[in-house]
Amino acid sequence: MSLRQKLLLLFSLTIAVTVAAVAWIVLLRIRHVFEQRDQEETTLFVSQFQREFQSRSAEVAASVQRIAESDRARAIAVEFAQTGDPAPYVNEAQAMAQEAHLDFLELIAPGGEIVSSAQWPARFGYPEPEAIAQAGASFLKREDLPDGSQALGLFAIHAVRTGDRPLRILGGEKLDPAFLVGLPVAPGMTVGLYADAQSEPAQKPSAEFDSRQFIAADGPVANAAAYKPLILSTLAAGRQSTSILYLTKSREESLNVTAIPLKNKAGQPLAALTVAISRGGMVAAQQQIRTTAYGVASGGMLLAIVFSLWIAARVSRPIEEMARASGAVAAGNWDVTVQERGHDELTVLARSFNHMTAELAAQRERLVQTERVAAWRELARRLAHELKNPLFPLQLTVENLSRARQLPEPEFDEVFQESTRTLGMEIANLKKIIGRFSDFSKMPRPQLERIDAADLVERVRALYATACGENVILQTHVADGPMPLDADPELLYRALSNLVLNAMDAMPNGGTVTISAKPAGSAIELTVGDTGEGLTPEECERLFTPYYTTKEHGTGLGLAIVQSIVADHAGTIAVESHAGSGAKFIISLPMAGA
């Protein structure tokens, strides 16, 4: 992965994570605000609803009080106090309840027995447990009905003031759909009433949930089962509780429901009034905001990526140029420079790099100059040395010949003959020396062709097998199979011959010269080894230096030529030697077609 890609990825990830985090926090905050607002709205509705409920309770209490203070009730009380006969009033409660628009009404004797009952006329004479309740305040009560059912009602009791033992009026309004219809309901709000269907009011709230007992103003509450946990917990705890109910998996189909326990005088919850407010509008608004936020975030991320691309390109371009320039320097091109832009650290780096390459180039030039001078010096020294050897005999021969001019002719002839022979030999020697230097300077470029290493080894062996003499043994080891090389056969032959001759020179007392060829991976190894005295480590290091020789009359160009030929074939040459165990030259050439 390139620097630009890394930078792009880093910038993009950073921006994406930042945008996502900001979006998440914003959405969370919006959701929190919406829900808080929804909760406040629910609380407002619930408190308004509770005020209305209390108002209705007060209305019931007022109705009962009006009945108790009516002339009719007083007349009944007076008559009943005199006669104690409930018979004349058996239907009286019904008429009174009808006039007062109450669902429940009972006239209760001072002893607590029912004199007349609107909801259950046949109950006359039976005791009414709530007869001892304090007058005025309304309360909840579960009322038994003739058909065996029970009805929850909002009751109030009031005494008819006619003496020491007053008649009591117990009246109430049934908490049924009709009651719920009269309550104030805001749009999207549903009021439900769950009356616990237990038989005995003294019992604790039932743990079972009967959805048939859960009614709204327009009949049974839809999705009643969803309310079950909230209602049961409210009834069990006896405290108002609020919860969000999800009717389906969709958040829009959810309700913010507040359950209010309706308790009797003993504080026992008899029913739960639920105020459900739809969260559809709020969720839809949240959804719209979320969609907008996602759109903005996506656009922002896209812009951020484009911007990151630009930034990454701007930041990485000098570094990439620097990397390319470094690669070029590493490849030997020290003349490369990088462009300097601006005044930042990268510009400083580029300037330093340019300065560095310039210095390197200058130093290389100086080194080349130095090496060139040294080479010329070495060449001059070597030439002087090489040429001095034959010149000295030449000088002596010419001086001897000049002195021999005074000798008699026969002797002069003998000296002349000897001198001309010596002059010829030394001149030939000079030509030879000059030819070697000429050869080194005129090293031809290899003419590559497909050859087999085995053929090359065989050609060398065939030449030197007879020239080795009696005390030198030449042996070859060639691996089976093809060992193709794209090489100049003449140059390689020359290189191998040079190595074989060196090996033979290294064994003046005889030994074994071994030539071998074998594949080594994607290369072919050609080895020439001897069993001579071997080389010291210092000699091994300097062996391929031009004009370096360990021979008495060597020019020091043989191994330099071998190394040059091997290098021209994209190969390498190495030497392995240990003192007293001979030396081994290993030429590694790339296998053709590998």
Nearest-approach distance from CB 148 to other proteins, in angstroms: 3
Q: Binding mask 419-448 vs other proteins (x if CB under 8 A, - otherwise)?
A: ------------------------------
Binding segment toward other proteins, per CB under 8 A, in 99-107, 146-154, 375-383, 492-500: 146-154
> In 3-state terms, the chain is what percent helix, strand and coil (to 5)?
50, 20, 25
Return the residue of 20, 44, 88, 490 that touches other proteins, per CB under 8 A: 88
Does residue number 122 form part of the binding site for other proteins (CB under 8 A)?
yes
Does residue number 129 form part of the binding site for other proteins (CB under 8 A)?
no
Distance, CA of 327 to CA of 333 (rounded, Å): 9
Judged on CB neighbours under 10 Å (0-12, 13-18, 19+), 208 is exposed
Return the residue of 3, 30, 62, 90 that touches other proteins, per CB under 8 A: 90
* Whether 230 contacts 107, CB under 8 Å: no
Does residue number 112 form part of the binding site for other proteins (CB under 8 A)?
no
Binding segment toward other proteins, per CB under 8 A, in 143-151, 409-417, 437-445, 455-463: 143-151
Binding segment toward other proteins, per CB under 8 A, in 69-77, 124-132, 425-433, 471-479: 124-132
Nearest-approach distance from CB 88 to other proteins, in angstroms: 8
Minimal CA–CA distance to 475: which of 533, 535, 528?
A: 528
Tokens at 396, concatenated:
């002596």
Nearest-approach distance from CB 112 to other proteins, in angstroms: 16
Q: Which residues contact 566 (CB under 8 A, 6 or more apart)?
A: 495, 572, 573, 587, 589
Nearest-approach distance from CB 187 to other proteins, in angstroms: 38
Tokens at 318, concatenated:
């000098």
- Count of CA atoms in the C-beta half-sphere (13 A) of 104: 28
Nearest-approach distance from CB 120 to other proteins, in angstroms: 7
Phi then psi for 124, rounded to 5 degrees?
-55, 140
The number of angstroms, rounded, from the C-alpha of 199 to the middle of its chain's C-alpha atoms is 64
Q: Binding mask 186-225 vs other proteins (x if CB under 8 A, - otherwise)?
A: ----------------------------------------
Return the residue of 112, 121, 393, 484 that touches other proteins, per CB under 8 A: 121
Over 264-296, what HEC string results?
ECCCCEEEEEEEEEECHHHHHHHHHHHHHHHHH
Nearest-approach distance from CB 143 to other proteins, in angstroms: 14
Distance, CA of 497 to CA of 509 (rounded, Å): 20
* Whether 354 contacts 338, CB under 8 Å: yes
For other proteins, the closer of residues 86 and 110 by Cβ is 86
For other proteins, the closer of residues 87 and 462 by Cβ is 87
> Count of residues binding other proteins (CB under 8 A)?
15
Residue 44 one-letter amino acid: L
Nearest-approach distance from CB 122 to other proteins, in angstroms: 4
Does residue number 124 form part of the binding site for other proteins (CB under 8 A)?
yes
State which of positions 17-36 bind other proteins (CB under 8 A): none
Return the residue of 111, 129, 146, 163 that touches other proteins, per CB under 8 A: 146
Nearest-approach distance from CB 137 to other proteins, in angstroms: 29
Nearest-approach distance from CB 72 to other proteins, in angstroms: 15
Strand partners, 514: 475, 529
Cβ neighbours of 182 (radius 10 Å): 12
Q: Residue 340: left if φ>0, alpha if ψ -120 to 50, beta else—which one?
A: beta
Strand partners, 355: none
Does residue number 123 form part of the binding site for other proteins (CB under 8 A)?
yes
Nearest-approach distance from CB 256 to other proteins, in angstroms: 39
Distance, CA of 133 to CA of 61 (rounded, Å): 13
Return the residue of 71, 82, 87, 441 that touches other proteins, per CB under 8 A: 87
Return the residue of 1, 71, 148, 408 that touches other proteins, per CB under 8 A: 148
Widest CA span in the chain: 204
Return the residue of 17, 29, 84, 85 that touches other proteins, per CB under 8 A: 85
Tokens at 500, concatenated:
């074989």
Count of residues making up the chain: 594
Nearest-approach distance from CB 288 to other proteins, in angstroms: 53
Q: Binding mask 331-350 vs other proteins (x if CB under 8 A, - otherwise)?
A: --------------------
For other proteins, the closer of residues 125 and 342 by Cβ is 125
Binding segment toward other proteins, per CB under 8 A, in 82-90, 212-220, 316-324, 543-551: 82-90
Does residue number 126 form part of the binding site for other proteins (CB under 8 A)?
yes
* Whether 318 contacts 346, CB under 8 Å: yes
Tokens at 545, concatenated:
């230096």
For other proteins, the closer of residues 87 and 266 by Cβ is 87
b/e string for 411-434 if b means 16 or more Cβ within 10 A? ebeebbeebeebbeebeebbeebe
Nearest-approach distance from CB 146 to other proteins, in angstroms: 5
Minimal CA–CA distance to 489: which of 544, 528, 526, 441?
A: 526
Judged on CB neighbours under 10 Å (0-12, 13-18, 19+), 119 is buried
Q: Residue 272: left if φ>0, alpha if ψ -120 to 50, beta else—which one?
A: beta
Binding segment toward other proteins, per CB under 8 A, in 34-42, 117-125, 421-429, 578-586: 117-125
Nearest-approach distance from CB 232 to other proteins, in angstroms: 27
Nearest-approach distance from CB 91 to other proteins, in angstroms: 9
Does residue number 411 form part of the binding site for other proteins (CB under 8 A)?
no
Q: Which residues bind other proteins (CB under 8 A)?
A: 85-88, 90, 120-126, 146-148
